[in-house]
Amino acid sequence: MKTELDFHPLSRERHVDAVAAFFERAADYVMFESGQLADASTAGAFFEDRAPGCDPGDSLKSACARADGGIIGIADMSFGYPEKPDAYIGLLLIDPGVRSQGVGRQFLECLVNEARLRKCKRMLVAVLDENARGRAFWEREGFVIEKSFEPRQIGSKVHVLHRLTRAL
């Protein structure tokens, strides 16, 4: 039976505490990405992050929540990067307790619908080279590698990123 999920925008003013609690539950990814523990600044950074050159008001921070309102996923999508008709997914993170249950796919469908409403022509996402599981998800969803980047520092770790793209 498919779980009923609610997808809704997030605002720093109303949701920072819920997003901070979510990051505590998803601390495995924060540690994997940055080599650091999730803390109070992690949620703040989520609300401040956006793709280069994108207007903060033209990015979408959203949640996937259970019927009881508990957040089980968060996403960040900017519009107009790297090209004007693009939607760039900066983060799609699912609670470890519900991974591999189709939540990511449902959340991505919601993001695709939003990108289409905004007349985007393609979606992009950057995946850490070490994140084989994440990359497999994106590839199953029709994303293909467009470009690989030189290693870069994220927190205390160094990662190679691969940018994947999918036409809409």
Give per-residue pLDDT as tens, 85-121: 999 999 999 999 888 888 999 999 999 999 999 999 9
18-37 mean pLDDT:
87
Q: Which of 14-18, 51-55, 130-134 has the lowest mean pLDDT?
A: 51-55
Q: Which of 111-120, 123-132, 135-144, 153-162 has the lowest mean pLDDT?
A: 153-162
Q: Cβ distance 9 to 75 under 8 Å?
A: no
> pLDDT band at residue 2, thresholds of 50, 70 and 90?
low
> pLDDT band at residue 155, thresholds of 50, 70 and 90?
confident
Q: Taking each helix axis from N to C terminus, what angle separates 27-34 and 12-25, rounded to the nearest 10 degrees? A: 80
Q: What is the pLDDT of residues 29-81, one digit of tens each?
A: 888 888 888 887 888 888 888 888 787 777 899 999 987 878 999 999 999 99
135-164 mean pLDDT:
90
Give the pLDDT of residue 1.
Answer: 36
For the cut 90, the answer to whether the pLDDT of residue 168 exceeds it is: yes
- Entry pTM: 0.90
* CA atoms within 13 Å, Cβ hemisphere of 107: 30
What does the block give as tokens for 123?
């979606």
What does the block give as tokens for 106?
């449902």
Give the pLDDT of residue 3.
Answer: 59
Burial of 108 (0-12, 13-18, 19+ CB in 10 A): buried
Q: Cβ distance 87 to 53 under 8 Å?
A: no
Q: Cβ distance 35 to 156 under 8 Å?
A: yes
Q: Cβ distance 107 to 99 under 8 Å?
A: no
